[in-house]
């Protein structure tokens, strides 16, 4: 049993590297097609052909795209993601100063959202059709439909500007004490959490309901198990696969898709770093961020699969 | 601030800036009286104005306090290298940590700073006496060598200086004494002290290659600098200006999202923010703790009609378009009154050498129609390129499109993304929009955007007579003669130029009412980004 899982993980890791490589080629090609390069972006209105070519030379953009890609790939293989062409700072340094912030925000959001979503989802499935289920379902549909920038903006207007309970900005620098952190993170976590909670909740509910309507659950009921026991020990283990996948998809979104939250709360995370890098055509930085997002996604999906297989022995033999 | 508002009401913002500026430089109430009566004002009225002015100035600045300031951009490209600074958050940091040889006051007249004195006989050879006793943040005294290094590095293409075009006029800089440098120019330029007062020409230490330490002679010392995140400066206790600066510490962040900036100001997390949208002004004003600081300056977006290609080759089309601007309506609806009507020439009324006598071009659809008929435009759609990168150009083009339709001209407004606009679209289409930031002098403005051989000559307008006059004015040391030539040049652009400037936009900053000491400098918001040295916090 263990060897099956190990073999599967190894296979996934290998194909993961393949995916990363493919993504890096695609991203490099797409950014090469974008109009303008780092030198032109940097000089903006002051760009004269002479200044642009001097700057290009300094940034190493006078080499061909293939050449730049190959040297970048060589750097990555040896663990050196290179230097930002825009400010000459090592990419690893830029990422290292931003990634922990994003991970922290993602972790706090996940810690709040996952238990909430799973708990509510199971309850909804259990009490399907009840007032509780209908109210929760209506609310989650409504929340999923509202884009998070609107949630964030409204939350800031209400809780920061009018009530003055919470700060309107969330800088990672003000996280010295737990109380400060709570205040600082409350609004971003609320905005981020509401969308993914709603998604996970609906998936959980659907997965559990799916299991509850299966024949073996009827058998469990006929044997006289309590409702709680039926759900927790019989239906849930079989629903873990789809639930883990829903959680993984939602969490991967937390790392890469939070750009709007980072903008609204001026939070120095990695998504904003990457968007800036794209706007400035800073290829080494764009590539490094892409790799991180892509790797995070692959790892989460892999974990979800492993969870599903461990929870459901039947999957091991397919 | 109440007093200075009262003063604005009495004599107008420009004049009040001049008076307050004079007081700041040490003028007495008596001097202000002389200034006002000299300008033809009745003695009694002058007396009461001088009273308000001195009261406005009398609030004594207090030392101490920490403020948090937000600019509108932040990215990993943030730099402390003066030569590479490219936006206002860079400029703000630049003025915190560095000084330049001169500085520009409320009328953009150069004043002595690190150079105590700047003299010339022919506008070609300039002798600058350096101030004694100035030290860098690390204790090294300022020497001519630092000045030579700071100026000459712009000429090296590898520096990537944004001021290379301006620096190329400098032939050589030599130390002509222990505290003196002599600058020789390739051709006379009476405006050299103005150029030297701009942010790119901040003085750095001789031989500096890594600018991340921010070692300058400026009012604040660098405590923390994280590109794209924040910069913190602490008071330079050894600053050479007595009693300056006032604040203990300034934290500077960049917040790209305007509503986020305004919200954070209103919640008290920020004390000063730049680039407030005219539509947010009422929100800021409604807060009892906050106020808006308006700088009427030369920022404009303009319609560019290329001379070499498309309908702009026909002067009648150009004149017709210029008559289609309903300028008053645009100021009222697009910037909600926070602007000044323009007259199709780039010099803002607050600047030295602004031509006062030029007749205002009115909104005249009939005349426009007449010109269009003469130009034989027909009904084919004329593409007009706009972008959020060119501030307000989308709104301006839509107002223009409406007016054009009534004169029988079909404008096709094409919206381009902000990303890459300057390199890919600006100046590249027959008809399009651009945005020009305020520049420190008439000469810089006209040389950059209207001289025949300038790469940024937006409309491709070539005029030999204009170039000759411009060079003559640059070499002229007689102020009156210069003023006359500049007036002629402005008239030429107004009449023949292939650009339309419907209005100038104000720079709007929001600030806590506790923050005092700011007076407008028409180079941009936040005192032309120089607030750090002047601002102080009420207890």
Strand B272-273 relative to strand B290-305, pairing? unpaired
Number of helical (H) and strand (E) elements in chain B, helices listed first: 20, 20
> Distance from first CA to last CA of chain A, Å, rounded?
12
pLDDT band at B1 (very low <50, low <70, confident <90, very high): very low
Extents of the domains making up chain B: 2-58, 99-201, 219-289+513-525+533-537, 297-505
Percent of chain B with pLDDT strictly greater than 90: 66
A159 touches chain B (CB under 8 A): no
Q: Residue B30: is its pLDDT beyond 50?
A: yes
- Residue A225: predicted pLDDT: 84
DSSP 8-state code for residue B327: H
A92 touches chain B (CB under 8 A): no
Q: What is the CATH number of domain B297-505?
A: 3.10.105.10
Find the CATH number of the domain harbouring A280.
1.10.3720.10
The minimum CA-CA distance between A51 and chain B, rounded to whole Å, is 7
In a domain, A311, yes or no: yes
pLDDT band at B359 (very low <50, low <70, confident <90, very high): very high
Q: What span, in angstroms and rounded, lies between the C-alpha atoms of A234 and A311?
A: 11
* Residues of chain A positioned with their CB less than 8 A from the CB of B77: 42, 86-87, 276, 280, 282
For residue B267, give the nearest of A54, A55, A168 by CB distance. A168
B interface mutation test: which of A266, A273, A277, A284 has the most B CBs within 10 A? A266
CB contact under 8 A, B257 and A263: yes
- Higher-pLDDT residue of B32, B124: B124
Average pLDDT over residues B242-257: 91
- Residue B17: predicted pLDDT: 63
Per-residue pLDDT of A198-211, as tens digits, reads 889 988 999 888 88
Range of the domain at A123: 3-12+98-316
Could you tell me which of B50, B509, B87, B513 has the C-alpha nearest to residue B296? B509
For residue B419, give the nearest of A46, A173, A279 by CB distance. A279
For residue A278, give every residue at least 6 positions away whose Cβ sits within 8 Å of its Cβ, in sequence order, or none.
A31, A34, A286
pLDDT band at B38 (very low <50, low <70, confident <90, very high): low
- Residue B94: predicted pLDDT: 94
Per-residue pLDDT of B300-310, as tens digits, reads 999 999 999 88
- Residue A149: predicted pLDDT: 85
A274 in Cβ contact with A286 (< 8 Å): yes
As for how many domains chain A has, the answer is 1
Q: Residue B507: is its pLDDT beyond 80?
A: yes
CB contact under 8 A, A87 and B456: no
In a domain, A61, yes or no: no
Q: Return mean pLDDT, chain B.
A: 88
Superfamily of domain covering B219-289+513-525+533-537: Periplasmic binding protein-like II (3.40.190.10)
Q: Residue B36: is its pLDDT beyond 70?
A: no
- Residue in B with minimal Cα distance to A49: B455
A45-55 in b/e form (b: 16+ CB < 10 A) is bbbeeebbebb
Average pLDDT over residues B97-115: 92
- Higher-pLDDT residue of B511, A309: B511
Give the ranges where B64-212 is alpha helix by DSSP (H): 88-97, 144-152, 164-167, 192-195
In a domain, A78, yes or no: no
Say which CATH topology domain B99-201 has: Dipeptide-binding Protein; domain 1 (3.90.76)
- Residue A184: predicted pLDDT: 84
Per-residue pLDDT of B326-356, as tens digits, reads 999 999 999 999 999 999 999 999 888 999 9
Give the number of other CB atoms < 10 A from CB of residue A29: 11
B306 in Cβ contact with B434 (< 8 Å): no
CB contact under 8 A, B160 and A285: no
In a domain, A300, yes or no: yes
A210 touches chain B (CB under 8 A): no
Average pLDDT over residues B289-294: 94
In a domain, A237, yes or no: yes
pTM for this prediction: 0.82
Angle at CA of residue A225, ends A224 and A227, nearest 5°? 120
**Coil, strand or helix at B460:** coil
B134 in Cβ contact with B240 (< 8 Å): yes
In a domain, A213, yes or no: yes
Q: What span, in angstroms and rounded, lies between the C-alpha atoms of B456 and B426?
A: 10
B interface mutation test: which of A32, A162, A276 has the most B CBs within 10 A? A276
CB contact under 8 A, A285 and B422: no
CB contact under 8 A, B253 and A171: yes
- Higher-pLDDT residue of A237, A174: A237
> Is the complex ipTM higher than 0.85?
no
DSSP 8-state code for residue A65: H
Q: Residue B125: is its pLDDT beyond 80?
A: yes
For residue A151, give every residue at least 6 positions away whose Cβ sits within 8 Å of its Cβ, in sequence order, or none.
A143, A190, A191, A194, A195
Per-residue pLDDT of B176-223, as tens digits, reads 988 999 999 999 999 999 999 999 999 999 999 889 899 999 999 999
**Coil, strand or helix at B113:** coil
For residue A44, give the nearest of B78, B86, B270 by CB distance. B86
Q: Residue B410: is its pLDDT beyond 50?
A: yes
Token pair of B85, please?
């600074």
Q: Provide the phi-psi class of B26: left if phi over 0, else alpha when psi is between -120 and 50, else beta.
A: left
* Residues of chain A positioned with their CB less than 8 A from the CB of B157: 50-51, 54
CB contact under 8 A, A41 and B420: yes
- Residue A148: predicted pLDDT: 82
- Residue A229: predicted pLDDT: 84
For residue B455, give the nearest of A48, A161, A169 by CB distance. A48
Q: Return mean pLDDT, chain A.
A: 84
In a domain, A307, yes or no: yes
pLDDT band at B32 (very low <50, low <70, confident <90, very high): low
CB contact under 8 A, A40 and B423: yes
CB contact under 8 A, A167 and B77: no
Per-residue pLDDT of B426-439, as tens digits, reads 999 999 999 998 99
């Amino acid at each position: 049993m263990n060897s099956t899982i190990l073999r599967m993980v190894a296979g996934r890791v290998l194909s993961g590297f393949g995916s990363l490589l493919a993504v890096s080629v695609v991203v490099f090609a797409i950014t090469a097609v974008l109009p303008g390069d780092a030198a032109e972006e940097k000089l903006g209105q002051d760009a004269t052909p002479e200044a642009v070519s001097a700057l290009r030379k300094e940034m190493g953009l006078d080499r061909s795209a293939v050449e730049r890609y190959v040297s970048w790939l060589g750097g990555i293989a040896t663990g050196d993601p290179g230097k930002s062409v825009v400010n000459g700072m090592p990419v690893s340094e830029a990422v290292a100063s931003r990634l922990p912030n994003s991970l922290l925000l993602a972790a706090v959001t996940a810690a709040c959202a996952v238990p909430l979503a799973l708990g509510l989802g199971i309850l909804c499935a259990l009490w399907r059709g009840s007032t509780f289920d209908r109210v929760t379902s209506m609310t989650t549909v409504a929340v999923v439909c509202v884009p998070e920038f609107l949630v964030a903006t409204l939350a800031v207007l209400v809780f920061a500007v009018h009530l003055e309970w919470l700060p309107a900005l969330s800088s990672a620098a003000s996280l010295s004490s737990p109380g400060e952190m709570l205040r600082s993170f409350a609004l971003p976590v609320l905005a981020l959490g509401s969308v993914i909670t709603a998604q996970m909740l609906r998936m959980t509910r659907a997965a559990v309901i799916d299991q509850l309507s299966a024949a073996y659950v009827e058998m469990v009921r006929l044997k006289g198990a309590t409702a709680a026991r039926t759900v927790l020990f019989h239906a849930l283990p079989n629903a873990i696969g789809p639930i883990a996948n829903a959680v993984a998809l939602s969490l991967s979104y937390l790392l890469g898709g939070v750009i709007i939250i980072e903008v609204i709360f001026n939070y120095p995370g990695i998504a904003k770093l990457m968007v800036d890098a794209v706007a400035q055509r800073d290829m080494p930085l764009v590539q490094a961020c892409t790799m991180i997002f892509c790797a995070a996604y692959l790892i989460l999906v892999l974990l979800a699969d492993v969870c599903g297989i461990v929870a459901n022995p039947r999957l091991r033999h397919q | 601030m109440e007093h200075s508002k009262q003063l604005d009401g009495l004599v107008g913002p420009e004049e009040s800036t001049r008076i307050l500026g004079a007081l700041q430089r040490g003028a007495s109430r008596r001097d202000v009286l002389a200034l006002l009566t000299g300008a033809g004002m009745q003695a009694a009225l002058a007396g009461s104005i001088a009273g308000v002015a001195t009261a406005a100035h009398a609030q004594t600045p207090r030392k101490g306090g920490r403020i948090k300031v937000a600019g509108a951009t932040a990215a990993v490209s943030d730099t402390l290298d003066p030569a590479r600074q490219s936006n206002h958050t860079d400029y703000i940091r630049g003025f915190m940590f560095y000084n330049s040889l001169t500085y520009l006051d409320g009328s953009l007249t150069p004043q002595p700073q690190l150079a105590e004195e700047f003299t010339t006989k022919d506008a070609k050879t300039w002798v600058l006496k350096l101030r004694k006793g100035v030290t860098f943040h690390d204790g090294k005294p300022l020497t001519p060598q630092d000045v030579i290094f700071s100026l000459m590095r712009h000429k090296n293409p590898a520096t990537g200086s944004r001021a290379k075009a301006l620096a190329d006029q400098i032939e050589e800089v030599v130390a002509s004494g222990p505290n003196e440098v002599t600058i020789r120019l390739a051709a006379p330029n009476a405006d050299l002290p103005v150029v030297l007062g701009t942010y790119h020409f901040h003085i750095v230490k001789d031989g500096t290659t890594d600018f991340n330490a921010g070692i300058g002679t400026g009012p604040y010392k660098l405590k923390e600098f994280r590109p794209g995140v924040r910069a913190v400066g602490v008071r330079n206790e050894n600053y050479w200006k007595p009693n300056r600066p006032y604040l203990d510490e300034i934290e500077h962040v960049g917040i790209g999202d305007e509503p986020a900036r305004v919200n954070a100001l209103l919640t008290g997390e920020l004390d000063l923010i730049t680039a407030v949208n005219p539509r947010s002004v009422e929100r800021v004003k409604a807060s009892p703790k906050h106020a808006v600081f308006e700088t009427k300056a030369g920022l404009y977006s303009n319609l560019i009609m290329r001379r070499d290609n498309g309908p702009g080759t026909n002067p009648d089309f150009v004149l017709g378009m210029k008559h289609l601007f309903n300028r008053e309506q645009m100021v009222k609806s697009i910037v909600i009154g926070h602007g000044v009507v323009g007259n199709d020439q780039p010099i803002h009324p607050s600047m030295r050498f602004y031509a006062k006598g030029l007749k205002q071009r009115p909104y005249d659809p009939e005349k426009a129609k007449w010109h269009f008929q003469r130009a034989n435009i027909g009904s084919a759609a004329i593409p007009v390129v706009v972008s959020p990168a060119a501030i307000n150009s989308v709104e301006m083009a839509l107002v223009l499109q409406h007016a054009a339709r009534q004169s029988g001209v079909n404008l096709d407004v094409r919206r381009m993304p902000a990303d890459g606009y300057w390199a890919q679209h600006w100046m590249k289409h027959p008809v399009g929009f651009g945005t020009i930031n305020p520049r420190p002098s008439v000469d810089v403005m006209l040389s950059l955007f209207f001289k025949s051989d300038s790469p940024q000559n937006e409309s491709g307008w070539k005029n030999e007579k204009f170039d000759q006059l411009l060079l003559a004015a640059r070499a002229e040391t007689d102020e009156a003669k210069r003023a006359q030539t500049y007036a002629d040049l402005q008239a030429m652009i107004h009449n023949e130029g292939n650009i339309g400037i419907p209005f100038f936009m104000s720079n709007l900053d929001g600030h806590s009412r506790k923050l005092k000491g700011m007076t407008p400098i028409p180079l941009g918001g936040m005192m032309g980004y120089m607030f750090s040295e002047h601002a102080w916090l009420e207890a």
